[in-house]
Amino acid sequence: MAMARARHALMQAGLDPSVPLEAASSVTNEVWLTPRHVVRVNRRPNQRLRREAILGPRLPAEVGYPMVVSYGGRMGADYLVLRRVPGRPLAHCWPDMSRESRRGAIHQLATKLRRLHITPGPADLPRIDAPQMLRSDTLSPVMSLLVALDQVRSLPHVDRGLIDDVERLVFDLTPAIEPFESRYLVHGDLTFENILWDGHHITAILDFEWARPSPPDVDLDVFLRVCCLPQLHVGDAYYQATRPEDYAEVPWWMQEAYPELFAVPRQLDRLRLYSIAYDIRDLTMFPPPAPAAQLHEYHALNRLRGTVTGRSHLDLLDASAGVV
């Protein structure tokens, strides 16, 4: 059925639906490659790809975003057809790259990211419920997060005392992100799966489904998760080859190439709040099927406990990295 959806998208785009299709690794969408195009199909009823179809043509050329060929489909099966760009996901190349190539790739990424972070968000870009449940258009940026905390508190297998502790921490940390306003874009899902590498250069940053105007250090939330827990942010076929030790220097390299991204006052407090907002959204979407002790150590419930107790992925980063 997934291949049939991809061929239907090609036909709707006026392209040859009989071309060879190669399934590509993806964490969130169905992705298929032809010799000249990429077909992405979103099976969730949120039309995230519609936002990307609007945004893609307006991104700066330095980002390398591929040309949008066609967008269409229906709720629960919308598609985006893009011109194929040379390169493979950086996450797939990373295990075999030299230290110097890795450092160079991060410096190139920093240049592209800095350019994105001074790009105004289009006025007609539809709002989206982003992975970090924080908003600039409400009385407080954490209002949606507080509503979600109440929802999570009532879920089976959730320790109410833990959520009470998280809520207190949210109130303590909220002043660190106020005012939560920006005209400029963040990527919103900066994983190495969404970066193309051709062996020498980063050719493109992809998958702008979660892009929206936000303070630039919001992009550090997912990026630092990848650095600390990279195996959780790759397709299943690459899980075994992905090792945290291969990413240990990445935050330092990003800081040396893009120091202003790490220069926000109360940086660690801001990142803790971003992390909480991400994990609470995860819980609302995927309620825990069992008590925390029976779940994976990196399940959202256990990630939240780590944040409250000072044992989160952020606490794996030394303060000398600039996260202060």
Instruction: Give the model confidence (pLDDT) of 35-86 as tens digits.
Output: 999 999 998 887 789 889 999 999 999 999 999 999 998 877 899 999 999 9
Across 289-295, average pLDDT? 95
Whole-model pTM over 0.85: yes
- Give residues with Cβ within 8 angstroms of 55, minimum separation 6: 122, 125, 185, 208, 211
What is the arithmetic mean of pLDDT over 17-36?
89
Mean model confidence pLDDT for the chain: 93
The predicted-structure confidence for 102-143, as pLDDT tens digits, reads as follows 999 999 999 999 999 999 999 988 888 888 889 888 889 999
CA distances from 299 to 90, 103, 109, 129, 295 (A): 25, 30, 29, 21, 6
pLDDT-derived band at 319, boundaries 50, 70, 90:
very low
Query: Span 2-83: which CATH code?
Result: 3.30.200.20
Higher pLDDT, 189 or 25: 189
The pLDDT of residue 323 is 53
What is the Cα–Cα distance from 134 to 179, expressed in whole angstroms? 11
Give the pLDDT score at 235.
83
On whether the 88-132+178-321 domain is CATH 1.10.510.10, my answer is yes
- The closest of 65, 98, 77, 60 to 2, measured between CA atoms, is 77
Helix ranges (DSSP H) in 176-293:
219-228, 250-257, 267-285
Residue-wise pLDDT tens digits, 222-243: 999 999 999 999 988 899 999 9
Q: What is the pLDDT of residue 129?
A: 81
| Delimiting residues of CATH 1.10.510.10 domain(s) in the chain | 88-132+178-321
- What's the DSSP call for residue 212? E
Distance in angstroms (rounded) separating the CA atoms of residues 284 and 151: 7
Question: CATH 3.30.200.20: which residues of the chain?
Answer: 2-83
Instruction: Please tell me whether residue 37 adopts helix, strand or coil conformation.
Output: strand
